[in-house]
């Protein structure tokens, strides 16, 4: 029976991988690694406190006796500067692999699964060619001869494939889209911010739920990745016969849009869908436009689609612009909004940190872009992957976890009380 090592065991993707390994009778032992303790109770789990930013030599001392056939690398450190994100995250991966070489654990390794993400395609930089496919060219040198901001996954992917080729084990890289899940103490996730926006809107006079983003975004198509589904995918990819040495998109398998999700969110939280949702057509300065807390963000780089101009025969005009009729960051600073949050916090004993650390800027990007963001699951499906999750159901399940964790109010009580 094999064992597994999970780095980033306290994170959103890593904790889900640990959870699913625990449930899988095929796995005998799970080494969970992170700086803080995940507090898992399963007898299958052995936790090791490891700082992946330390040297390979230092880490090797902490990793004595930690060996497994499968590694799931879900550790991640967010950095705003792309070069710094590359330096930090590449070093963590490289030093960790070297530490396994030093302890000799690498000799037992069969497959190493690295969690990366859709930033691999440059989705954070603007509109990409869609659907996103694993064999799309990397976004490195620009056709202009210039270069794109560094994408840290590329360096991680190179480190991993080079180490695997040298030592004879296999690698897999997963590319999840925005992850629906939760890790204790980590409030930086889309579902928390969305849920807080909805719950506080319920308390505000009129309980209306204006869509923060732009009209084009409301009608655009997107996909999401359930942390649980991603974890199941990682377990599948670790042993599926032909999955080794491959990079895979990992999404729920449905395609969603806010024109479909927003009315459901409104209903769940007892809010009203404003009609019109986009007064004045959602166009600033047009008659009827309602300036809730609008914002326009102009990015300086071109759209990644530019790299595909010659192939698709269409010019990628202009630079990415985000428009929001309600800027979530400004909204979260409003005094009436903070007063409403305070009422919820006090009534239901919610965690103040959830409000302070909510990732409003993440919503700004995800709801403000006027293009779709969709990938294809064809590659994994052709190799036998059949997993699927319903995005709305996953979102609801995540809200329920957030309620239990004191991040969101219990929704049935919220609807009765306000």
Residue span binding ligand NAP (CB under 6 A) among the ranges 62-70, 111-119, 211-219, 379-387: 111-119
Piece of 45-53, 97-105, 195-203, 315-323 that binds ligand NAP (CB under 6 A): 45-53
Question: Which residue's C-beta sits nearest to ligand NAP?
Answer: 11
Q: Return the number of the residue (52 or 373) whose C-beta is nearest ligand NAP.
A: 52
Q: What is the largest CA-CA distance in the chain?
A: 70
Nearest to 7 by CA among 26, 154, 15: 15
Bridge partners, 208 (sequence order): 272
The sheet with strand 29-34 has its strands ordered as 45-49, 29-34, 3-7, 70-73, 111-115, 170-176, 246-250
Please, what is the minimum distance in Å from the beta carbon of residue 36 to ligand NAP? 3
For residue 85, what are the contacts with CB-CB under 8 A and spacing of at least 6? Answer: 77, 78, 79, 150, 152
Taking the least distance from each CB to ligand NAP, the nearer of 26 and 393 is 393
Binders of ligand NAP among residues 46 to 65 (CB under 6 A) are: 50-53
Residues 12-41 that bind ligand NAP (CB under 6 A): 12-14, 34-36
Q: Which is nearer to ligand NAP, 128 or 337 (CB)?
A: 128
115 binds ligand NAP (CB under 6 A): yes
DSSP secondary structure letters along 206-260: T-B---SS-HHHHHS-B--EEHHHHHHHHHHHHH-TT-TTEEEEE--S--B-HHH
Q: What x-and-dash track marks residues 69-108 binding ligand NAP by CB under 6 A?
A: -----xxxx-------------------------------
**DSSP, res 186:** B
Binding-residue pattern over the window 134 to 173 for ligand NAP, x denoting contact by CB under 6 A: ----------------------------------------
| Nearest alpha-carbon partner for 196 in 293, 340, 367 | 340
In the complex, minimum distance from the CB of residue 81 to ligand NAP, in angstroms, rounded to a whole number: 15
Beta strand pairing call for 295-298 and 321-324: antiparallel
- Nearest approach, Cβ of residue 203 and ligand NAP (Å): 27
- Show the binding pattern over residues 195-234: x = contacts ligand NAP (CB under 6 A), - = does not: ----------------------------------------
The number of residues that bind ligand NAP (CB under 6 A) is 27
Compute the distance between CA of residue 249 and CA of residue 131 in angstroms, rounded to an integer: 11
CA distance 275 to 309: 39
Q: How far is the CB of 359 from ligand NAP (least distance, A)?
A: 9
Please identify, using beta-carbon distances, which residue of 149 and 263 lies nearer to ligand NAP.
Answer: 149
What angle in degrees, to the nearest 10, is found between the helix axes of 190-203 and 391-404?
70
Q: Which residues bind ligand NAP (CB under 6 A)?
A: 8-14, 34-36, 50-53, 74-77, 115-117, 176, 178-179, 183, 186, 189
């Amino acid at each position: 029976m094999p064992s597994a090592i999970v780095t980033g065991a306290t994170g959103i993707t890593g904790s889900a991988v640990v959870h699913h390994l625990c449930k899988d009778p095929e796995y005998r032992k799970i080494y969970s690694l992170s700086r803080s303790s995940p507090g898992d109770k399963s007898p299958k789990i052995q936790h090791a406190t490891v700082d992946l930013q330390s040297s390979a030599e230092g880490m090797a001392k902490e990793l004595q006796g930690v060996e497994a056939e499968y590694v799931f690398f879900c550790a991640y450190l967010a950095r705003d500067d792309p070069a710094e994100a590359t330096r930090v995250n590449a070093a963590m991966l490289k030093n960790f692999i070297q530490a396994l070489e030093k302890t000799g654990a690498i000799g037992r390794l069969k497959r190493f699964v690295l969690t990366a993400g859709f930033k691999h395609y440059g989705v954070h930089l603007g509109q990409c060619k869609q659907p996103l496919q694993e064999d799309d060219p990397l976004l490195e040198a620009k056709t202009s001869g210039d270069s794109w901001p560094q994408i840290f996954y590329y360096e991680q992917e190179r480190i991993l494939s080079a180490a695997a080729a040298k030592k004879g084990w296999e690698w897999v890289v997963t590319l999840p889209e925005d992850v629906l899940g939760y890790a204790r103490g980590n409030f930086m996730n889309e579902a928390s911010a969305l849920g807080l926006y909805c719950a506080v809107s319920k308390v505000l006079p009129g309980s209306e739920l204006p869509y923060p983003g732009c009209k084009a975004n409301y009608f655009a198509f997107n996909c999401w990745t359930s942390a649980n589904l991603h974890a199941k995918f990682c377990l599948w990819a670790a042993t599926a016969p032909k999955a080794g040495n491959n990079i895979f998109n990992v999404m729920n398998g449905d395609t969603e849009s806010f024109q479909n999700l927003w009315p459901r969110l409104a209903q769940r939280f007892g809010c009203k869908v404003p009609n019109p949702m986009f007064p004045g057509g959602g166009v600033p300065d047009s008659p009827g436009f309602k300036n809730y807390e609008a914002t326009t963000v102009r990015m300086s780089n071109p759209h990644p689609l530019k790299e595909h101009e010659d192939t698709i025969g269409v010019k990628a005009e202009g630079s990415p612009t985000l428009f929001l009729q309600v800027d979530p960051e400004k909204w979260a600073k409003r005094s009436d909004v903070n007063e409403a949050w305070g009422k919820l916090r006090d009534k239901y004993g919610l965690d103040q940190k959830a409000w302070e650390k909510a990732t409003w800027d993440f919503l700004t990007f995800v709801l403000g872009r006027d293009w779709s963001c969709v990938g294809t699951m064809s590659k994994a499906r052709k190799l036998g992957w059949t997993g699927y999750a319903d995005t709305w159901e996953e979102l609801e399940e995540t809200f329920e976890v957030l309620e239990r964790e004191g991040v969101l109010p219990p929704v049935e009580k919220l609807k009765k009380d306000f």
